[in-house]
Chain A
């Protein structure tokens, strides 16, 4: 290790010790609540009646703090769009095919069977987001992992960009449209109470949450897939 490097490390340690000291005082001053604060209490007491979602976290994500979630979805949309932009940044039109190490029989075969099941699981997860742990983001990620598996088993596979973009746009525009319906028919933008609340704990319940979460799931799945395909299509380095 050179002297300069040494100094750098020491300096980093020194600075981080100071940051650590700040963290430590946060930690030492931290007293866990014994009772829910008034925001959380409101959610605990009113979610069932207001929204009809069994999963309170989902109610918060999709309805109460729906604008955050729209922002999140947008972050992914933005990230996938920029990944596409970055990778096309100064790209040479070089179409030589890559010679890759053949993927094993095991992976190829397994992915053929597994990918549909994984995708199905993803759909299940986001459709049931208002009932069980999980939801659009988790489901979307699971769908994308199915795509990843397919890409791993056949790196030269090309997914239709148009299809992905259409799903991306359809779910995005649909999400906003549902939000607007909330603005017109219910209490405000992204209000999920445009459909009846139904019976707590049933699949068709919690107003428009399953619908919104499904769109989010599709959107997230499409964004991740778009990023994965963009990355996989880059030239070998």
Chain B
């Protein structure tokens, strides 16, 4: 179960990278990175997963005293939230940039934005 999630996460990252490396369209590159971000998030939470345990929320079934034996690692869960939020921020920023780049050259082809080089 963990391995499947983790392998899927890695695969998503690779797919995302492949997309980002081979699509010249700016929007497609952003989508590709979003896929990679999703993969990352999947990998992060799968690292915190312990087989046979439950979510780290205390209630009547998971009491504070028994928590250590019953819950999964809460740390990756906290980390993944940060990772998601940062991913959203960066994606928004890239979209805004893309909009402006398109406005300037009326194209989304990244190979057309090479006035800075060497």
Whether B93 sits at the interface, judged by CB under 8 Å, is yes
Whether A200 sits at the interface, judged by CB under 8 Å, is yes
- Complex Cα distance A33/B48, Å? 8
Note all chain B residues with C-beta closer than 8 A to A36: 50, 68, 71, 73
B89 contacts A19, C-beta separation under 8 Å = no
B22 contacts A80, C-beta separation under 8 Å = no
- Please provide the chain B residues from 82 to 115 with a CB less than 8 Å away from any CB of chain A in the complex: 82, 84-86, 88-90, 92-93, 95-97, 99-100, 102-104
- Which of the candidate stretches A54-62, A164-172, A175-183 sits at the interface with the other chain? A54-62
Q: Is the interface of A mostly helix, strand, loop or mixed?
A: helix
- Please provide the chain A residues from 43 to 101 with a CB less than 8 Å away from any CB of chain B in the complex: 43-45, 47-49, 54-57, 60-61, 65, 68-69, 71-72, 75-76, 78-80, 82-83, 86-87, 89-90
B73 contacts A40, C-beta separation under 8 Å = yes
Beyond A30-B3, A55-B56, A72-B82, whether A20 also contacts B14 by CB under 8 A is yes
Query: Which of B10, B56, B93, B104 interacts with A23 by CB under 8 Å?
Result: B10
Distance in Å: Cβ of B99 to nearest Cβ of chain A: 6
B10 contacts A27, C-beta separation under 8 Å = yes
Whether B27 sits at the interface, judged by CB under 8 Å, is no
Whether A108 sits at the interface, judged by CB under 8 Å, is no
Whether A156 sits at the interface, judged by CB under 8 Å, is no
- Please provide the chain B residues from 60 to 94 with a CB less than 8 Å away from any CB of chain A in the complex: 64, 67-68, 71, 73-75, 77-78, 81-82, 84-86, 88-90, 92-93
Mark A102-137 against chain B: 1 for CB-CB distance below 8 A, else 0: 000000000000000000000000000001110101
Note all chain B residues with C-beta closer than 8 A to A69: 82
Distance in Å: Cβ of A198 to nearest Cβ of chain B: 14
Q: Which of under 10, 10 to 19, 20 to 34, or 35 or more describes the interface residues of A?
A: 35 or more
- Complex Cα distance A223/B57, Å? 28
B96 contacts A82, C-beta separation under 8 Å = yes
Whether A2 sits at the interface, judged by CB under 8 Å, is no
- Complex Cα distance A231/B68, Å? 46
**Further 14 A-B residue pairs, CB within 8 A, beyond A20-B10, A47-B58, A79-B93:** A9-B22, A16-B17, A32-B50, A43-B74, A45-B67, A47-B67, A48-B64, A60-B75, A86-B93, A131-B57, A137-B85, A200-B58, A231-B95, A237-B103
Binding site for A on B (CB under 8 A): 2-3, 6-7, 10, 13-14, 17-18, 21-22, 47-51, 55-59, 64, 67-68, 71, 73-75, 77-78, 81-82, 84-86, 88-90, 92-93, 95-97, 99-100, 102-104
Binding site for B on A (CB under 8 A): 8-9, 12-13, 15-16, 19-20, 23-24, 26-27, 30, 32-37, 39-41, 43-45, 47-49, 54-57, 60-61, 65, 68-69, 71-72, 75-76, 78-80, 82-83, 86-87, 89-90, 131-133, 135, 137, 200-201, 220, 227, 230-231, 234-235, 237
**6 interchain pairs (CB within 8 A)?**
A23-B14, A27-B3, A27-B6, A27-B7, A55-B58, A135-B81
Ranked nearest first, the 10 interchain pairs of A and B with the lowest CB-CB distance are A48-B64, A79-B89, A56-B56, A60-B78, A12-B21, A44-B67, A44-B68, A23-B10, A83-B96, A86-B96
